[in-house]
Structure 1
């Protein structure tokens, strides 16, 4: 029974200190007290969502760049494999057409 009274007393002192601190910080404006914690949590969640979205966009962008580079490299390899091998002969005559 005594421990219940002690825990109730400690809890009531904690609540009173919290109320006094809120009254000191926010004076007579209970609306600010009520919305301040909720607004802060809401802003933190918006920032977190923006950060997650930015990371997703960055990962998609880098993945797209890498796949484009891989495609271009494969295309160059196919072109080099299908093109006939030319050896540069420095003594070959140069054929000009036209004028």
Structure 2
């Protein structure tokens, strides 16, 4: 069953523009990206055990693949990755950006 939320009702009453996130097709992963991806998975596993949540609740594989390709160093770069929002960045971001800062 679908329902219209109050926000949806307001939209229908007073239409305005909508914004949607557009996902870009990334480059093909290479062996180095695969190695970084595995390191990111290890960090995610450690955090999932610490917080007692499933690994996908930290970040999905898709998000980790994008991180492996983009290698974010700053908050802005992390927030540009699909699946990373303010809350997850504040809670987990430092663990993942540290991996890239250490690798320089």
TM range (shorter): under 0.3
- Please identify which structure carries the higher helix content: 1
TM-score normalized by the length of structure 1: 0.25
Larger radius of gyration: 1
Higher RCO structure (Cα 8 Å, ≥6 apart): 2
TM-score normalized by the length of structure 2: 0.24
